[in-house]
Amino acid sequence: MVVIPDIIVQGVQMLLVLLLAPLLTGFVRKIKARLLRRQGPPLLQPYRDLIRLMRKDVVLADNASWLFRVIPYFIFAATWIAASLVPTFRSGLLFGLQ
Amino acid sequence: MISALVTSAVVLQMWCVAGLLGISVLAILLSRSKSSTAVVYGATLAICAVGLVGSLRSLGGVPMNGSTVTLPIGLPWLGAHFRLDALASFFLFVVNLGGASASLYGLGYGHHEQAPHRVLPFFPAFLAGMNLVVLADDAFSYLLCWEFMSLASWALVMAHHREPGNAKAGYVYLVMASFGTLALLLAFGLLAGPAGDYGFAAIRAAPHTPYVATLVLVLMLLGAGSKAGLVPLHVWLPLAHPAAPSHVSALMSGVMTKVAIYGFIRVVFDLLGQPTWSASVVVLFLGGITAVMGILYAMMEKDLKRLLAYSTIENVGVIFASLGLALAFQANGLKLAAALAFTAALFHVLNHSLFKSLLFFGAGAVLTATGERDMDKLGGLIHRMPFTSFAVLVGCVAISALPPFNGFVSEWLMFQAVLQSPELPQWALKILVPAVGALLALAAALAAACFVKAFGVTFLGRPRSPAAEAAPEVDRYSLAAMFILAALCLLAGILPGPVIDALSPVTIEILSSRMPIQANEAWLSIVPIAESRSSYNGLLVMVFITISASLAVFFIHRFASHALRRGPAWGCGFSDPTPAAQYSGGSFAQPIRRVFGTLVFHARDHVEMPAPGDIRPARLRIELHDLVWEGMYQPIAGAVGFSADRLNRLQFLTIRRYLSLVFATLVTLLLVLAIWS
């Protein structure tokens, strides 16, 4: 099967996008700050923010429904799938534009 | 014994129609008995299921020797011809699917009906009329069945005739339906020509001059377009569709507009023969405008059922735009692209019938549970009606054209067809097609916003009225109908290949070309033109969204905090506000009203601020104008009223005056005759 290596490449690509995305945010913030002649947060600050946010409680409104719990995961998944279509380190991906 | 009666596919369908008409008579006899609702809807469901299977078999190309039948009724020298071909089979499938699901829904919903004897006899008759229009094979039976369908649906619109606004809706519908039939009558008259052979076979064989072809196209746009809801002939639709009971609204919006589209396809694609490219310009333009206008109207609406009716106008616009694309490609001999656009149109016909019926059923369920159609008096129903809200959510996602549901597939196919436009030789089309594509993209985005509003305001948040707070879940039949349609929406979305392949007999028959065979594609992908250009795989998208969402859930639950607290919603320091202070439909539509409304609706916001010291509340008044109604219909109505007032004097003359009038008419006629010859 030719498909198996393709799936692995696709998986690596998706993982790479996921892991590097906060770094890009950190980089943009740094550049913005430097343009305003400020020091700016450290490059890895978004990772620290994410780890900190993971430890926080979930607070729901009294009348929040199951949809409120489910939708964030779907939004994440949809964004991730969309990102997987963009070639980063290899073109001709399984899902990507041929 | 049955095989002796059913000698061909079309005969089977005619027996179904006869059965429906029989139920209609039975319903009149039974109208006062308690069991009538169950008997009528149960029998209609059974017959529609038979018709559904029959149409699927004839679409799949299982001919049961011969597909025409001639009844000795109608015009004496012509008889009534009925014929079943691939196009008719597809539309019969749509009609019977809608009919079956509406009957199933009616089994539960019908028990809440205040006056069942005003609905039950007309419901099967309406279905029979729609079946007959699709089956008719000569102009006379076509028009007769068309009128029968219109009148049956008019009776259903008038079922609740004492409710405010319904009488006006019925009146406007009647006027517009008569106008549409007049246009169709003229169109068929032109097609039959001086020889006057009204059979479709003869019309198809006869050559048509470009002049006649253009006139017929315009008349069909007026006739079929007024029934389907093309802007500016749409005014009756948002009045009449919501006025009927909800399962009938679903049939009118989901199915009857499709029958009108069938009429358009039958005449313009089939009977007129090879189209000219200039014809496609009109259809494309009207389709694009209709799509955007329809969804803008829907966005401004706060009545749930009217919102759905306006969204029907949008979808009809999308379908007409696809048909316009098919005309443009076919006129230039681009067979593959024409088949693609035509398949997209048919696929959207099927999809819209599925999710619009589902959404109208949902609106009906909300109406039964709360007695409210005004979204600003609903809210929080997801807790009270969990099953209904889930089915409606599926419908909203599907109609917003989000993958992996069916709406995405047909709109994606249509945009793939739009992308073929550089191959068109005419510069007008090269420019117009991408412009219409942009309009359709705008309409698709607005549709998503509109259904976020419809679902969010109705089902989420806190209940805005006591009725919404105490809403019960609806009965099992209604839920079954909604869940079957929701499942079909998903199924057509993740397995579009078989649907496209099933549509190929229709494109072969009408355009003599087809899309590539999808069953051969690996991994159930669909490929509009060629694998190297573009492909889509709904199943793969769904699987991957599910996998990545599950991965996210797994990691969050594995590594993140588990603690979950419930608290009162943050009210910006203004704790425990009334539910009416929540984000409403009007608030949601406000940005779009600001951007498009000033141009399209002459929208103005008036803030009435009391003077300092005055303790009156400030008020925001929004002024919206329906420019089509005010600019086009009111002047016509005014002119008709004015001339009627003037002519009214003729009613109160003395006998001498009448006699002199008659004499004057006679003299004038003789004079005209003398001068003419």
Residue B44 identity: T
Measured between beta carbons, which residues in chain A are less than 8 angstroms from residue B568? 61-62
Share of residues in chain B with pLDDT > 70 (%): 98
Closest in A58, A61, A65 to B569, CB measured: A61
Measured between beta carbons, which residues in chain B are less than 8 angstroms from residue A64? 566, 569
Which residue of A55, A58, A70, A94 to mutate against B (max B Cβ within 10 Å)? A58
Kind plus residue range of the DSSP H or E element containing B365 = helix B335-370
Specify whether the CB–CB gap between B268 and B327 falls below 8 A.
yes
Q: How distant is the Cα of A21 from the closest Cα of chain B, in angstroms?
A: 15
**Alpha helices (runs of H) in B116-256, residue ranges in sequence order:** 122-135, 139-157, 166-192, 200-205, 210-228, 237-243, 246-251
Measured between beta carbons, which residues in chain B are less than 8 angstroms from residue A63? 380, 383, 461-462, 569
Asked if B76 is an interface residue toward chain A (Cβ–Cβ < 8 A), one would say no
Strand partners, B83: B68
pLDDT digits (tens, 9 = 90+) for B137-167: 999 999 999 999 999 999 999 998 888 889 9
pLDDT digits (tens, 9 = 90+) for B323-366: 999 999 999 999 999 999 999 999 999 999 999 999 999 999 99
Residue B373 structure tokens: 């159609």
Asked if B543 is an interface residue toward chain A (Cβ–Cβ < 8 A), one would say no
Look at residue B529 in the predicted model and tell me its pLDDT: 77
Segment 448-477 of chain B within 8 Å of chain A by CB:
460-462
Residue B407 structure tokens: 């709406």
Above 90 in pLDDT, residue B93?
Answer: yes
**Range in B359-373, B400-414, B558-572 the model is least confident about:** B558-572
Measured between beta carbons, which residues in chain B are less than 8 angstroms from residue A75? none
How far apart are alpha carbons B653 and B668 in whole angstroms? 20
ipTM confidence score: 0.86
Instruction: Compute the count of residue pairs across chains A and B with CB atoms less than 8 Å apart.
Output: 74
Asked if B404 is an interface residue toward chain A (Cβ–Cβ < 8 A), one would say no
Measured between beta carbons, which residues in chain A are less than 8 angstroms from residue B460? 65, 67
Asked if B530 is an interface residue toward chain A (Cβ–Cβ < 8 A), one would say no
Look at residue B573 in the predicted model and tell me its pLDDT: 78
Look at residue A98 in the predicted model and tell me its pLDDT: 41
Specify whether the CB–CB gap between A80 and B540 falls below 8 A.
no
Asked if B644 is an interface residue toward chain A (Cβ–Cβ < 8 A), one would say no
Residues whose CB is less than 8 angstroms from the CB of residue A2 and which lie 6 or more positions away in sequence, other chains included: none
Q: Is beta strand B80-83 parallel, antiparallel or unpaired with respect to B68-71?
A: antiparallel
**Range in B57-61, B142-146, B230-234, B450-454 the model is least confident about:** B57-61
How far apart are alpha carbons B43 and B39 in whole angstroms? 6
Specify whether the CB–CB gap between B289 and B600 falls below 8 A.
no
User: Between A4 and B646, where is the model more confident?
Assistant: B646
Look at residue B263 in the predicted model and tell me its pLDDT: 95
User: Between B534 and B636, where is the model more confident?
Assistant: B636
CB contact under 8 A, A61 and B566: yes
Look at residue B63 in the predicted model and tell me its pLDDT: 55
Measured between beta carbons, which residues in chain A are less than 8 angstroms from residue B565? 57-60
CB contact under 8 A, B552 and A73: yes
Q: Indicate the angle between helix axes B9-30 and B86-109, nearest 10 degrees.
A: 30
Specify whether the CB–CB gap between B176 and B264 falls below 8 A.
no
Look at residue B111 in the predicted model and tell me its pLDDT: 86
Asked if B668 is an interface residue toward chain A (Cβ–Cβ < 8 A), one would say no
pLDDT digits (tens, 9 = 90+) for B252-296: 999 999 999 999 999 999 998 888 888 899 999 999 999 999 999
In this structure, is the dihedral angle defined by the CA atoms of residues B525, B529, B534 and B536, taken in order, positive or negative?
Answer: negative
CB contact under 8 A, A56 and B561: yes
What 8-state DSSP symbol labels residue B648? Answer: G
Look at residue A92 in the predicted model and tell me its pLDDT: 58
Which residue of A7, A60, A63 to mutate against B (max B Cβ within 10 Å)? A63
- Report in angstroms the alpha-carbon separations of B658 from B25, B644, B647: 45, 18, 14
Measured between beta carbons, which residues in chain A are less than 8 angstroms from residue B561? 54-58
The nearest alpha carbon in chain A to B461 belongs to A63
Above 70 in pLDDT, residue B107?
Answer: yes
CB contact under 8 A, B380 and A80: no
- Report in angstroms the alpha-carbon separations of B45 from B82, B526, B531: 23, 33, 42
Asked if B558 is an interface residue toward chain A (Cβ–Cβ < 8 A), one would say no
User: Between B43 and B8, where is the model more confident?
Assistant: B43
Closest in A14, A57, A73 to B565, CB measured: A57
Which residue of B457, B529, B545, B546 to mutate against A (max A Cβ within 10 Å)? B545
Q: How distant is the Cα of B438 from the closest Cα of chain A, in angstroms?
A: 22
Half-sphere exposure of A39 (CA within 13 A, CB side): 2
How far apart are alpha carbons B463 and B252 in whole angstroms? 30
CB contact under 8 A, B567 and A61: yes
Q: Is beta strand B619-623 parallel, antiparallel or unpaired with respect to B604-608?
A: antiparallel
Closest in B462, B545, B552 to A63, CB measured: B462
pLDDT digits (tens, 9 = 90+) for B555-565: 888 888 778 88
Kind plus residue range of the DSSP H or E element containing B566 = strand B564-567
Residue B212 structure tokens: 């006649």
Specify whether the CB–CB gap between B437 and B332 falls below 8 A.
no
Closest in A62, A74, A80 to B569, CB measured: A62
Strand partners, B374: B303
Cis peptide before A72 (omega within 30 of 0): no
Q: Indicate the angle between helix axes B139-157 and B122-135, nearest 10 degrees.
A: 150
Cis peptide before B635 (omega within 30 of 0): no
Backbone angles phi, psi at B7, to 5 degrees: -90, -20
Measured between beta carbons, which residues in chain B are less than 8 angstroms from residue A57? 561, 563-565
Measured between beta carbons, which residues in chain B are less than 8 angstroms from residue A76? 548-549, 552
Residue B62's pLDDT band (cuts 50, 70, 90): low
User: Between B4 and B502, where is the model more confident?
Assistant: B502
Mean pLDDT of chain B: 90
Q: Which residues of A touch B (CB under 8 A)?
A: 14, 54-67, 73-74, 76-78, 80-81, 84, 95, 98
Nearest to B297 by CA among B345, B237, B357: B237
Measured between beta carbons, which residues in chain B are less than 8 angstroms from residue A54? 556, 559-561
pLDDT digits (tens, 9 = 90+) for A12-33: 888 888 899 999 999 999 999 9
Asked if B564 is an interface residue toward chain A (Cβ–Cβ < 8 A), one would say yes
Q: Which residues of B576-610 are buried (b: 16+ CB within 10 A; e: fewer)?
A: eeebeebebbbebbbebbeebbeebbebeeeeeee
Q: What is the DSSP string of B61-94?
A: T---S--EEEES-SSTTT-EEEE--HHHHHHHHH
CB contact under 8 A, B552 and A56: no
Look at residue A1 in the predicted model and tell me its pLDDT: 47
Q: How distant is the Cα of A77 from the closest Cα of chain B, in angstroms?
A: 5
